[in-house]
Amino acid sequence: MAQSIDIQGGGLFQIAEPEAPSKRRRKPGKAIGIDLGTTHSLVAIAPNGAAPRVLADAEGQTLLHSVVSYAGGEVVVGRAARAVAVEHPEQVLSSVKRFMGRGPKDIDFTHPYRLADDAQVVRLDVADPGQPPRYVSPVEVSARILEVLRDRAEHELDDDVSGAVITVPAYFDEAQRQATKDAGRIAGLEVFRLLAEPTAAALAYGLDRQGRGEHGEGSFAVYDLGGGTFDISILRLRAGVFQVLATSGDSALGGDDFDRALAGHLRELAKLSAPSPAQQQELMLAARAAKEALSDAEVTSVTLERCELGPTQVTRAQLDALILPLVKRTIKVSKAALSDAGVDKRELDGVVLVGGSTRVPLVRKLVEQAFGREPLADIDPDKVVAYGAAIQADILSGSEREGVTLLDVVPLSLGLETMGGIVEKIIPRNATIPISARQVFTNYSEKQTGMTVHVVQGERELADDCRSLARFELRGIPRLPPSMARVEITFELDADALLTVTARELMTGVKQSIEVKPTYGLSGDEVDELVMDSLDHAREDFAARNLAEARVEMGRVMLALRTAIDEVGSIEGMLDPEEHAQILAALVECEAVMQQSEHADPINKAREQLEKRSEPFARRRMERALRAGMAGKSLAEIESALAEEQALDERRGAHAAEVIEPQ
């Protein structure tokens, strides 16, 4: 498998931009960085090499609540929308980042919203009570938040924004990244790049200046716990290159889960078995306020009017007990990321805290214990990601700024389905991006004139155990004997980890490609399961793969033998009746073994016996073909033909995987 990484340019990242240069001319110093968060969102600028700063609204507020209200048919964003959430629980949307790039079956957490039950993608009904449904998608809701941030920046810059860098959790999958990019486009922004949140934090801290040695070398962990997502990235700086060694996380774990745990406790105190949507909103808002208060105080008081709960004290110890299992989950994932990176915690030069949820004292305590050092929290964890995005946006707008080269990684393996339902991994998990990887596949039958390319994502050996991302067909393949056609499949992951797959038949040059835009993506639990299942089920997965490969190889031999009998079996001297009957009986026996056996060994033994029984016939057929081919030719021509035949034999055996045939 050929792989390549394209590194261009002289900017901070020096990574090839995700798309062809825009026709619109970029204005240096007019680009913005956006942290599109689950709870809050921010916009920052760092024009023409200046230090980054977060922009405020007219009232001096830098944090924009990631809340959008559709109550009364009007769209309101931010603090004003949050203020009416209890009165209009189904028309005021918050934490919509958790819905991005997902299907209805992926939504397994509590929420007060009405989802369309007949849609492949999540759609939320925001119509007022008694009115016909009015559906909006999470992408549209996020676009409304981005529009407010864009307007804030244009007012500050006194000019149109030339483009934006938008941050995403490092563990966002293909669908979630694409949904974020689509939201930016809907908001009227040219999205220069999607930037992983831990990467942005590393840039904001200027970790290259904190490294060891003359060239500023060192290893760092970035622990990013926001409102709805958790990421852990292990980075290493060496010779001016900042490389992500491993990334892991949970795209459905964050401060919102802390709020839900505390809200559940308050619900029990209020003796509510089935709270209404309005009561649920009140519980969540009160829990969030209490959590934030307990970051500084040991005790706080909560009053719930709609839930009929009078002033009640909540202590930090109670909160810690409720959220301890959740925080421990992040620590477990962090240790796994260190193992994936091959880095011992004692080798780290620093641990960076990112995200508002890292203000929770229990989080800081357990992180310090897990990594054996006090974490870095010099920069406001709510703003650090926006700072890094602004720095990168300034570079991509054309400004000059010194920095480091940074190489990111893909969180899950990408591959395609081959004959027998086997997954051929083209780009492995934690491969450095951007990356272009290609592999050549061949035909299964001479009657095959097309191939279906099925792109999958995951760590298991069989396609049924992985997530389907896209399918497309390549037609116009010439009719060639089995294993003679050559189809080159190329996977290209850009700097945003967005995937393009191309299939090209090498003889005719016919080509087909697709930009993989799945309608919804992986749930947080599924992401974890895809990685863990590959370890837990390794033995049975490989057994299943061996069985599938044995069946494919048996089918190939049987098809080739039947074709040969049809072509030359009736020629005198080629195949006598007794031998013919024995081969046909062997074929029937092999067919039965292939269908009945659940293990590879019996199938392989039956295939070997079939090949041994048919060997005399195959030899006579080959000798006849050679005699016909050598008639009237010189010795040199014969030697050349034999060399070509040997090369073809080697070529036939070079690629065992066959792309599945169109249905």
> Which residues carry out catalysis?
35, 97, 197, 224
Residue 620 parent element (H or E): helix 600-630
Name the token pair of 594: 């292939």
Instruction: Please state, in angstroms and rounded to a whole number, the distance separating the CA atoms of residues 141 and 316.
Output: 34
Laid out side by side, the sheet with 405-409 consists of: 350-354, 218-225, 230-238, 241-250, 405-409, 432-433
- List of long-range contacts for 380-384, beta carbons under 8 Å, 24+ apart: 381/353, 381/354, 381/355, 381/356, 382/40, 382/42, 382/63, 382/355, 382/356, 383/35, 383/42, 383/44, 383/54, 383/62, 384/200, 384/201, 384/204, 384/205, 384/352, 384/354
For strands 114-115 and 92-94, give the pairing: unpaired
CB burial string 190-220: b at 16+ within 10 A, e below: bbbbbbbbbbbbbbbbebbeebeeeebbbbb
Distances (CA, A) of 179 to 97, 105, 185, 256, 517: 10, 17, 10, 21, 9
Instruction: Please state, in angstroms and rounded to a whole number, the distance separating the CA atoms of residues 429 and 169.
Output: 16
Laid out side by side, the sheet with 487-493 consists of: 2-4, 435-441, 487-493, 499-505, 511-515
Q: Return the SS3 of 280.
A: helix
- Sequence letter at residue 615: E
Instruction: Please state, in angstroms and rounded to a whole number, the distance separating the CA atoms of residues 411 and 428.
Output: 9
Taking residue 295's Cβ as centre, other Cβ atoms within 10 Å add up to 16
Closest CA to 501 of 521, 458, 472, 475: 472
- 169 by Cβ neighbours in 10 Å (0-12 / 13-18 / 19+) ranks as buried
Q: Return the SS3 of 231.
A: strand
φ/ψ of 49, rounded to 5, equals: 85, 0
Name the token pair of 423: 């997954």
Q: Return the SS3 of 288.
A: helix
545 and 422 in contact (C-beta within 8 Å)? Answer: yes
223 and 334 in contact (C-beta within 8 Å)? Answer: yes
**R_g of the chain, CA atoms, integer Å:** 30
To the nearest 10 degrees (0 to 180), the angle between helices 577-596 and 538-568 is 160
Half-sphere exposure of 270 (CA within 13 A, CB side): 26
Instruction: Please state, in angstroms and rounded to a whole number, the distance separating the CA atoms of residues 147 and 131.
Output: 27
Tell me whether the omega of the peptide bond preceding residue 434 falls within 30 degrees of 0, making it cis: yes
Closest CA to 410 of 457, 354, 352: 457
- List of long-range contacts for 301-309, beta carbons under 8 Å, 24+ apart: 302/266, 304/266, 304/270, 304/279, 306/86, 306/276, 306/278, 306/279, 306/282, 307/266, 307/267, 307/270, 307/272, 307/275, 307/279, 307/282, 307/283, 308/270, 309/266, 309/269, 309/270
